[in-house]
Amino acid sequence: MKKHLSIPIGIKTLENTSLKELSTFKIGGNVRFLFLPEKISQFIELIDYFDENHIQFMLFGRASNILFADEMSTSYAVSTLSLRKSAVHSNIVDVQAGYPLRNFCYLCAQENLSGVQGLSGIPGTIGGAIYMNAGAYGFSISDRLIDVSVYDFKKKKITTYEKDSCHLAYRRSRFMDHTQIILSARFQLEFANKETVLNDMKEYDIERSKKQPLDFPSAGSVFKKPTSDFHPASEIDKLGLKGFCVGEACISSKHAGFIVNKGHATAKDVKMLIEIIKEKIAQNTGVHLETEIEFFE
């Protein structure tokens, strides 16, 4: 395969890999080839190869906000999980796209830096968090962001965007146009006592465990808030849908904004459940919900 396709040499490649095992939802079929570049140069070379040869591919990190199809039609996948270098210079932290967000929060704490501790329970990567402008408990990934380096595979160049040029909004960024791929980002934190920051993180973890169904696989909050005062979880709860299931995909009885996998849920189950929720919400409120979860096929 490598000789026929001339895939760049040295990139770790797995064949016939289960995406189910790579997803926080624990749902998904197999992908024919999974590439895990360990260097930015390898990553760019691989992306260029796919683009120049008109090969469709999927790109993901922790797959914590993704529902993979039960049978994948896309044969090639690229994971950023091996792109996880970091550097700390005073209160400036530089991290690559595949760096786990939780690890980033702990890295900051260990360096006596504060400002991201509320994000420690989000199970994604730096790249994924910036891509969707992730946030929790009053913290947003954009709060401490300085700039983002991306690779524009149509222009064949690396560009660095200052925070104000990233078009960051609620669960949105300029990088959702899928021509610019996040490589790394820099953050400016505040100096603080390590133990205080770690204690804050512990408190957020306790709060999260009380409210969120962390005992079952999920992809986090399913729906975006259409307005600041419309809370999908509350509206779903009002409809009495907590605990409602399609197959083994269920609306969490703990938090109605989550769909959980009770064991052997399929992507088909989840999609059907999402459509039922959207239809009932539209009938009762006139609001048409959009998903935070992205669907990869």
Residues involved in catalysis:
171, 221, 292
- Of the CA atoms within 13 Å of residue 43, those in its CB half-sphere come to 28
Other CB atoms within 10 A of residue 80 CB: 24
- Distance, in Å, from the CA atom of 168 to the CA atom of 114, rounded to the nearest integer, reads 21
Tokens of 253: 């009885």
- 228 with 149: CB under 8 angstroms? no
- 251 with 236: CB under 8 angstroms? yes
Q: Shortest CA distance to 41 belongs to which of 70, 18, 10?
A: 10
Q: Which residues contact 232 (CB under 8 A, 6 or more apart)?
A: 221, 222, 223, 224, 225, 256, 257, 281, 289
Can you list the positions of beta strands (E) in the chain? 12-18, 30-36, 57-60, 66-68, 76-79, 86-89, 92-96, 113-114, 135-136, 139-140, 145-152, 157-162, 180-188, 190-191, 218-221, 245-246, 249-251, 258-261, 294-296
Tokens of 61: 């990190």
